[in-house]
Amino acid sequence: MNRPDEATPAIETIGLGRRYRWRWALRECSLNLPAGHVIGLVGPNGAGKTTLLHILTGLLEPTTGRARVLGGAPRDLHALRRIGFVAQDKPLYGWFTVNDMLRMGGWLNPSWDRASALAHLAGLDIPLDQRCGSLSGGQRAQVALAVALGKRPDLLLLDEPVANLDPLARRQFMQVLLEHVAATGMTVVLSSHLLADLERAWDYLVLLSASRVQLSATTEELLHQHRVVAGPPEKVQAIEAAHTVVQSSITDRQAHLLIRTGGLVHDPDWTARPASLEEIVLAYMSQPLAGASPALTLAGTAAKGSR
C-alpha cells in the first residue's frame, strides 16, 4: 500500500456548505486536516458532522465550496479506494451472514485483506455464519469496522462509532481501533456528539457547532493557546483588547474568563491557569456564535503551524 504523502493533507475543504431545502446543514467549512492523526470531530447533534462525512465520502454533493480527500475529489475512485467508512448506525445487509459481509468486501475492493478482517472478528468471538440482522449493537459495530479495515484504508472515517454502545463494547471498539492505527499509521476521523465518548483517543480536534467550524487544532495547540484567568471585573476590557475571550462569567467581585491568549497575561491582578480540554471544548460549544469567526482564523493558523 502506498502511504499518503505527509505533505498532502488527509482532508482539505474550502468554503464547503450543504443546504437542505430550508436549512444549512453545513456552512463555510474550511478545513486542512493533516495526515497521520486521530482526529476527533465533535459537535452537538445537528451540527453538520454527518453531512461533512457524507460529502467527504462522495455520498453527498456539496451545495457550495469543494472538498479534497487524500488529494483527490471524493467521488474519484482513486480516493474512494483508500477511504474506509463506517456510517452512523453501522448499516449492514441484515440478511447477509457476517461471512457474506466479508465476502462483499472482497468483491467490491481490489485491496481487500480477508485475513486481517477474519483475525479481527476471531479475536472478538463473532460467529461468521450469523446473520447480521441478529447481531448485538457491539457486534454490529465490530463487523462494520472489520469491513472498513479489511479495505486497508489510508483514511478511516467513523460516524458516531460508539454511540448506542454499552461502556464495555465502547472500550473494546476503541481498543481494537487504536491497535490498528498504531500498526498502520492511518489517519482516522472519529465523530461524536460527546467529547467523552472519544476517550481521548484523538490528538487533533475539529469542533463543529451550529453548522460551522469552531475549532480545528492539535491537542498541544489547544492546551498551549487557552488559559482560564480570574481577576477584577473592571479590567475585563483590558484583557479583551489583548486576547480573545471565548467564555466569560462575571460577578460584582470577580471575572472568570476562558481566553485564547495573544501572549502572556502580565497584569498581576489576574491569575492564570491552563485550561483543560473539556473546559475549552465546552466553552466553544456553549457559545458557538461568540467563538465563530476567530475560530476560523485559528483553524487557518493551526493548519499552517501543525506541520
Stretch that binds other proteins, among 14-22, 109-117, 164-172, 275-283 (CB under 8 A): 109-117
Residue 93 engages other proteins in binding (rule: CB under 8 A): yes
Minimum Å distance from CB 112 to other proteins? 9
Owner of C-alpha cell 492505527: 181
Residue 171 engages other proteins in binding (rule: CB under 8 A): no
Residue 242 engages other proteins in binding (rule: CB under 8 A): no
Interacting residue with other proteins among 29, 31, 39, 83 (CB under 8 A): 83
Distant-in-sequence, close-in-space partners of 135: CB < 8 Å, separation ≥ 6: 92, 98, 126, 143
Distances (CA, A) of 43 to 2, 40, 160, 162, 196: 32, 10, 11, 15, 12
Which residue lies nearer to other proteins by CB, 58 or 231?
58
Size of the site for other proteins (CB under 8 A): 32
Q: Sign of the C-alpha dihedral, residues 283, 285, 287, 291?
A: positive
Distances (CA, A) of 123 to 129, 184, 298: 16, 18, 42
Residue 54 engages other proteins in binding (rule: CB under 8 A): yes
In the three-class reduction of DSSP (H, G, I as helix; E, B as strand; rest coil), residue 208 is classed as strand
Distant-in-sequence, close-in-space partners of 167: CB < 8 Å, separation ≥ 6: none
Which residue lies nearer to other proteins by CB, 89 or 199?
89
Interacting residue with other proteins among 19, 72, 103, 137 (CB under 8 A): 103
Interacting residue with other proteins among 1, 77, 122, 194 (CB under 8 A): 77
With vertex at residue 295, the alpha carbon angle to CA 188 and CA 17, rounded to the nearest 5 degrees, is: 65
Question: Of 87, 223, 197, 217, whose CA–CA distance to 147 is shortest?
Answer: 87
Minimum Å distance from CB 81 to other proteins? 4
Interacting residue with other proteins among 58, 161, 231, 288 (CB under 8 A): 58
Helix (H) or strand (E) holding 137: helix 137-150
Question: Of 161, 160, 242, 216, whose CA–CA distance to 39 is shortest?
Answer: 216
DSSP 72: B
Which residue lies nearer to other proteins by CB, 54 or 226?
54
129-148: contacts with other proteins (CB under 8 A): 144, 147
Interacting residue with other proteins among 19, 44, 59, 137 (CB under 8 A): 59
Which residue lies nearer to other proteins by CB, 89 or 267?
89
Binding site for other proteins (CB under 8 A): 54, 57-61, 75, 77, 80-81, 83, 85, 87, 89, 91-96, 100, 103-105, 107-111, 144, 147, 151
